[in-house]
Amino acid sequence: MTNTEIFNKIAKNTIRLARFATHEKIWSTLPLLTEVVATQAGVLTGKATGSNDEIYEVKLSLGERSRVSWECTCDAAKNDKAAPCKHALALAWRFQHRGLEDKGLEKALEKAPFGSHLAFKARFVRETEKSMLLKVWKDHTKTVVGEYWFPKSRTEVAQGNWYLVPHFITEDKSISGTPIWRLANGERIK
């Protein structure tokens, strides 16, 4: 079972176990949920700000026989062990309904375990409102591989004629380059 399948099972089972009254409360909790992390160990973690500005730490994982395990430092979780608190539900909902933007690294890891982004040499040709056309060169030469359109929102000028694009966008094009891990905070790791 892949981590994505584990996380989906955690999220679905957590929501299924919740009581209706608690389920309604997650909507007010979602904007207060921060630092959401899906770890390599198959654990979802996050922090939620309570109504009294106290920070609650939330953790969801999958135990024996696909049973969901939840932990939260809020009073509701301490007093009621039968159902997850609204913070645990908000964390599960947030993962279950994450947008395509949030799946970029996940998709890159599945397709290209050697890097999340590809750095390659290219020359800017022209652009539209949402895309840019780049003339891509073969690594360290001026031999043109082809011209390709890339979404502006996902394409970054790294340095000079070097461009940085998520690997899942470049995988169907015959582009060679330098694989780079791009972290959520913008830091790059070669």
Q: Which of 27-36, 55-64, 159-168 has the lowest mean pLDDT?
A: 27-36
Instruction: Write b or e for each residue in 172-186: b if 16 or more Cβ atoms lie within 10 A of its Cβ, otherwise e.
Output: eeebebeebebeeee
Residues 87 and 116 in one domain: no
Which of 98, 121, 144 terminates a domain? The answer is 98
Residue 16 lies in a domain: yes
Domain holding 119, by residue range, is 109-189
Same domain flag for 94 and 14: yes
**Residue 185 pLDDT exceeds 50:** no
Q: Is 0.95 surpassed by the pTM of this model?
A: no
pLDDT at residue 102, as a whole number = 57
* Residues 46 and 37 sit within 8 Å (Cβ to Cβ): yes
Distances (CA, A) of 140 to 34, 63, 72: 42, 50, 52
Exposure string of 90-128, with b = 16+ CB inside 10 Å and e = fewer, is: bbbbbbeeeeeeeebbbbbbeebeebbbbbbbbeeeeee
The answer for residues whose C-beta is within 8 angstroms of residue 93's C-beta and 6 or more apart is: 11, 15, 26, 30
Query: Strands 68-72, 55-62: parallel, antiparallel or unpaired by DSSP?
Result: antiparallel
- Confidence label for 184 from pLDDT (cuts 50, 70 and 90): very low
Residue 77 domain-assigned (yes or no): yes
* Residue 163 shares a structural domain with residue 91: no
